[in-house]
Structures are given as C-alpha cells and as structure tokens.
Amino acid sequence: MNSAFTEKSREEQLKEIIKRVHAGEQVSDLKQEFRYLLEHLSAEEIASMEQALVNEGFPVESIQELCEIHVDVFEESLRRNIEASQEQSHPIEVFKKENRELETRLKQIKEIQKQVKKNSSDAVYQTLSELADDLRDFEKHYIRKENQLFPRLEQVGFTGPTTVMWGKHDEIRGTMKDFIKSVHQQASEKELKSLFSTMKKKMEKMIFMEEKILYPTSMKKLSESDWNSIRREEQEIGLAWIASSKNEEISPDSLPSAAQQVYNASEEDMMDKPILIPLNEGFLSQQQLDMMLRALPFDLTFVDEHDQVRYYTASDDRVFPRTPSIIGRDVKNCHPPKSVHIVEKIVDSFKKKERDSAEFWINLQGKKVHIRYYPIFDNAGTYRGTIEVSQDITEIQSLEGENRLLDWE
C-alpha cells in the first residue's frame, strides 16, 4: 500500500468505489484499479466507510440494494483477514455456531431437493417440508442481532451498517417465506430450485458479512461488559438449534443505569417498606405496579417525548421479543428500515395532535395480532410519549354468543 495514503484518503477512496458501483461500473474493473488499496483492507475500515456514506445522506435503500455486490468487491481482502479465536460461550462464537448449523441444513435441503426431479412423491415433499420448516428457527439469530447486538453498536455511534444489515435480514425473511410456502404447495422442481438458490445465496452472503465485517468490528467497538450483557440476554429470545451457554448471575452493573436503582432494592425491602407511588386515582407500590403491568393480557411498550424507549412489559409470552438493550434506544432503530418512515409519520401526527391513535393487524405464525399506538399528553396538553399495545386476538375473534359471569365454573 502506498504510504502516501492517509486514513482519510483511504476512506474517501473506499467511498468512491461504492459510489462507482452504484453508478454501474464493473466490479472487476474497480478491483483492478484499486487493487493496492484492497490488498490491505480491514473489516473495520469497510464498516467505517459504510457508516460515512450513511452520515453523508447516501440512501440506505441504495446501499441495501447493492450490498451483495459490495461484498464481491471486498471479498478477497476480507478472506485474508485472520480472526482471533474466542471462548466458546462468547456471543460471537454462539452466532458463528448457528451459522454452521444453518450451512448444514442448507446442504441437507439441497440434497433432498435434487430428489424432487427424480421422485416427486408425497414422502419426498414431506421430508423437504420438515427441513424447510426447521429453517424458521434461524429467525432467532436475526432477532438477537437486531435486539441485542445492534442497540449496543448504536450506543457507540455505529448505526449505518446495522441499518443496512437489518434491511438485508428482511430480504432473507421474504425469500425464506416464499421458499417454505412453495414447498408446502409442492411446487415444481424448477420453481423450488430457483427459490432455494435465491434464499441460499442471500443467507450465505449474510454469513460472510457477519463473520468478516460485523463481528470483527463489533469486537473492537464493544466492551467486555457489553458482551456479558448480551450473553445474559440470549435466553430472552433463544438460540437457533444449539444448546444455550451457561448464563451468569445478573449483575446490576450490566443493567441500564435507569434500572439499577430498582434492581438494588430487594423484594423483601419493597414488601417491608413499600414506596407508594401516587397515581391519579389511588396509590400503588413499585412492586404492585410492576406485577399489575406484567399481568395484563397484552404487551405494552412506552416511548417518551424524545422518541426513546423507556419501558416494556417483560411478560413470558410477549408477541414481539424485547430485551433490556432496548431501553434508551431511539424508536426508529427498533423497526426494520422499510417501516421506519411509517413509525416516524405516526409519532409526528401524534405530536401535532392530528391523530389520536393508529392500529394495524397482521398474521404472525398462525396468530392474528392487533397492534395499536396511542399518544400520551400531560395535564397541560404537552406530548409526553406514545404507548404501543400488541395483543394476540386469535381467540377473541372466535368468540360467539355469550359467556356471563354466572356461567363461570
């Protein structure tokens, strides 16, 4: 590498490569032109370049659109990077183990899929269906990245690459959904092969981006305390296909500062000397309020007037996963990139008092889920935040006739 290149000039040249890719230039030509730069490239430099592009206002959607081509540009240099080994229970190693399990399952599906052309019996499709359905478990891998790893990276100013990656997660989810649906419908061998090829390619590219860019950069940016917290939170969402690592006892130091004071107060203290919280009608202790909110038959999430998440009900059967990492997170970073503008539009309409609610309903893993948003105002009429209410209404929709109080047994 020419010693005349400064760190700034290296970043500028990397940005130039990506901008020229987006302008339609051939990857092979750019590799040749910038071969000296690409020979000594680190994962952190690539991540910093992507962050710089986002900071400059380069459309995230455009980066997502050609993300896999970006990987092709940098692939050779990234493959030369030597990674330091990690303890087996480290969250990065857990993520990697899940990737190895995914690769194994993709190979199995590919082998079974070959049989469809020779023997399209119900038995072959049944085996393929079971393998395809098993892929759904890998969703936990992406959810943990989005809800545990990404928030901590955002806290150290690393937001651009994670936003791009979340968009790629959604692309993979879409291709996986299409493939599984086609398998269950016993689509033709040609259609299955095409859908599987698309899904497999995107998954493999994601594995490469994770292990060659995201994880090495994360290791440099996050502290040991961050990794300990991520490890302790793994069971909030669960692992994909592998046994969980031993979780240490939770330390107050790993919790968000706002939660430490509550954590330090033991259950006995709160029972013996309850601090009563004056409410509009009545008084409740902190313990009573917490138990009552957890017992509600729906999920609550509260976002304050600064658009930061301040609270969620941590019940065992939440509709959407939440972990302590979300506390203090900007709400726009809690949603897939493709829906962020809708979230911002809803909150903005609440702040301007143009709307007093917003509701949606979706089909999620065989359930009908009702999602509602309500603005919160204080007595002076000042906007103080938004509540999200998520509820599984599958059984409610099936109610018929009456079931009166006196009928209860």
Average pLDDT, the chain: 82
Region 256-268: mean pLDDT is 44
63 pLDDT more than 80:
no
Distance, CA of 113 to CA of 102 (rounded, Å): 16
- The residue among 316, 276, 322, 267 whose CA lies nearest residue 294 is 316
Q: Look up the pTM and report it.
A: 0.69
Contact, 181 vs 129, CB < 8 A? no
262's tokens: 């509550």
pLDDT digits (tens, 9 = 90+) for 107-163: 999 988 888 777 777 888 899 999 999 999 999 999 999 999 999 998 888 887 788
Q: Looking at per-residue confidence, does 217 or 49 come out higher? A: 217
- Asked if the model's pLDDT at residue 385 lies above 60, the reply is yes
Quote the Cα angle for 297-299-302, to 5°. 140
Please state the separation of Cα 27 from the chain's center in Å: 30
- What's the pLDDT at 216? 87
| pLDDT top residue among 391 and 20 | 391
Structure tokens at 343: 């979230």
Q: What is the pLDDT of residue 70?
A: 59
* Structural contact between residues 262 and 349, judged by C-beta atoms closer than 8 angstroms: no
Over residues 82-116, the pLDDT tens digits come to 565 566 789 999 999 999 999 999 999 998 888 87
For residue 395, the model assigns a pLDDT of: 92
Question: What does the pLDDT average to over 357-385?
Answer: 93
d(CA 26, CA 31): 9
Q: Residue 173: what pLDDT?
A: 94
- Residue 5 pLDDT grade (very low, low, confident, very high; cuts 50, 70, 90): very low
**Percent of the chain at pLDDT exceeding 70:** 80
Whether residue 273 is predicted with pLDDT greater than 70 in this model: the reply is: no
